[in-house]
Amino acid sequence: MKRVRVIGVGPGDPDQVTIEAVTALREVAYFVVTDKSGRGGMPDPLVNARERLLDRHLERAPVIVRVDDPERERRPDRTATQDEYDAAVARWHEERRAAYEEALLSHDGDAGFLVWGDPAFYDSTIRILQSLQARGRLDLQLDVVPGISSIQLLAARHRIVLHEVGQALHVTSGRRLHEALAQGQDNIVVMLNRVIELDGLEEWSIWWGANLGTASEALVAGRVGDVLPAIDEARDRVRAAAGWVMDIFLLRREA
């Protein structure tokens, strides 16, 4: 039996890691870390962020097993339909699964997978490890440690509740925002934004945040029609400062 711990490590600030997560970080024998730096020789900023986090919370040098992140098909003309997009993600997961299997087979002791934010939101580590478990080559015991999500940090930074009293909250990706609007959703958290297109939503309110919990954090809030240029400008500024940008926002149609 091999114990595999999927550990949510928050959205960037090493202070935003729970005590349960720190205990888990200290207990595992090694960390499996996916590394995107193989693509074009650029260092992967999230690998560096994870290293800083381990440096902060471990009392010994961590054993890091780097796994090259397989190239994922992202060309718009190859991922335009939902079927094409799903097939591209399925291929990518299959390659990641093979890489994880190799890493786990070649190392002894409990393994830790550091997951950005919380493992339950837009992250496939649990799914991929479960499919590895189902294949049966490895006898895995999965254990999930929750983390603070970028969703929570967005709310905390703007000092808001994400929904009105007793009302619903819809969470989706930038790619699926138009579907949420067509369904009539009027209180929506949007993640995984390649571009931000809010045409027709000028009267809505937006609470936007980028690189939350890091030195390049940026926040903008207001009426969409008023603040979109400020968001575009802040996005460019954050990308220039950090070399990467991850942003998330709450959109609400005001009564």
3-state secondary structure the chain: CEEEEEEECECCCCCCCCHHHHHHHHHCCEEEEEECCCCCCCCCHHHHHHHHHHHHHCCCCCCEEEEECCCCCCCHHHCCCHHHHHHHHHHHHHHHHHHHHHHHHCCCCCEEEEECECCCCCCCHHHHHHHHHHHCCCCEEEEEECCCCHHHHHHHHHCCCCCCCCCCCEEEEHHHHHHHHHHCCCEEEEECCCCCCCCCCCCCEEEEEECCCCCCCEEEEEEHHHHHHHHHHHHHHHHHHHCCCCEEEEEECCC
Site string for ligand SAM, 125-164 (x = CB under 6 A): ------------------------xx--------------
* CB of 81 vs ligand SAM, minimal distance in Å: 21
* CB contact set of 87 (below 8 Å; sequence gap of 6+): none
* 62 vs 119, beta carbon nearer ligand SAM: 119
By CB under 6 A, name the one of 116, 204, 207, 208 that touches ligand SAM.
Answer: 116
* CB of 44 vs ligand SAM, minimal distance in Å: 14
Q: Is 246 in the site for ligand SAM (CB under 6 A)?
A: yes
By CB under 6 A, name the one of 53, 248, 250, 251 that touches ligand SAM.
Answer: 248
* CB of 124 vs ligand SAM, minimal distance in Å: 9
Residues of this chain, 9-38, that bind ligand SAM according to CB under 6 A: 11-12
By CB under 6 A, name the one of 30, 85, 121, 244 that touches ligand SAM.
Answer: 121
Site string for ligand SAM, 176-195 (x = CB under 6 A): ---------------xxx--
* CB of 47 vs ligand SAM, minimal distance in Å: 15
* 195 vs 255, beta carbon nearer ligand SAM: 195
Q: Which residues pair with 159 in a beta bridge?
A: none
* 62 vs 213, beta carbon nearer ligand SAM: 213
Question: Phi/psi of residue 2, each to 5°?
Answer: -115, 125
By CB under 6 A, name the one of 111, 211, 227, 238 that touches ligand SAM.
Answer: 211
Q: Is 220 in the site for ligand SAM (CB under 6 A)?
A: no
Taking contact as CB under 6 A, which single stretch among the options 126-134, 156-164, 198-206, 241-249 is the one that binds ligand SAM?
A: 241-249
Binding site for ligand SAM (CB under 6 A): 11-12, 116-118, 121-123, 149-150, 191-193, 209-213, 246-248
